[in-house]
Amino acid sequence: MLSKNQIAQRIAKEVKNGQYINLGIGIPTLVANYIPENINVVLQSENGLLGIGPFPTEDQIDPDLINAGKQTITMVKGSALFSSAESFAMIRGGHVQLTILGAMEVSENGDIANWKIPGKMVKGMGGAMDLVASAENIIVAMQHCSKDGQSKLLKKCSLPITGIRCVKKIVTDLAVLEVMPEGGFKLLERAPGISVEEIQSKTEGRLIVEGEIPEMKFD
């Protein structure tokens, strides 16, 4: 199975030159470390940052520079700092081309649940609802199964839904999957050493398998 860093590394291959990209809390923040050098993108955080760089080394840490997940970050040349109100105006105005989010559940129709677990205290829903309603493309980074072995790729989400029919692609520790317009998870790639049969057994929603499924490649 892929590590969290490998999931982020694989997602980094999906970014396109010139995109404005929002990185959600958790695994998505790691994508900043794997943006190809020949690709020029602008990373945005909803707490008011535009132009996020890789995570800092020990001597680069500045406690005043944090992302939405309260992790210290670096800033690239030309970066900007502004209020969260301006940040959300940018998101709601449709100026973010790609959003990369974590999720607790995704349905075969592309619904995402990632903001609340019933019975557990949360400080707020964050910016996820605005992001899934406004971004042109949404990629989810997540574990394929929960800690107790239950599939997180479902026919229908059981947790409170953040957005409906919005997820386009998912990268898990087992596979890369595309959510089809008519519903279903189309298997595009599998993690090294992971069989199609294992992915099928751990996917509750409809899995679409066409032809030979290649293994993911890492440089």
**DSSP one-letter code for 30:** G
Q: Which of 185, 105, 113 is nearest to 151 (CA)?
A: 105
Distance, CA of 174 to CA of 10 (rounded, Å): 12
Could you tell me the CA-to-CA distances from 8 to 90, 136, 145 in Å, in that order?
Answer: 24, 20, 17
Which residues does residue 151 pair with via DSSP β-bridges, in sequence order?
Answer: 145
Distance, CA of 88 to CA of 71 (rounded, Å): 20
Question: Per DSSP, which regions of the chain are E strands?
Answer: 20-23, 42-45, 49-52, 75-81, 98-102, 105-107, 112-113, 137-141, 153-154, 169-171, 175-179, 185-190, 207-208
Q: Which residue has the tokens 């072995």?
A: 149
**DSSP one-letter code for 64:** T
Distance, CA of 213 to CA of 193 (rounded, Å): 12
Residue 46 annotated to the active site: yes
Contact 139, 178 (CB under 8 A): no
- Among 14, 37, 46, 105, which one carries the catalytic annotation? 46
List residues with catalytic annotation: 46
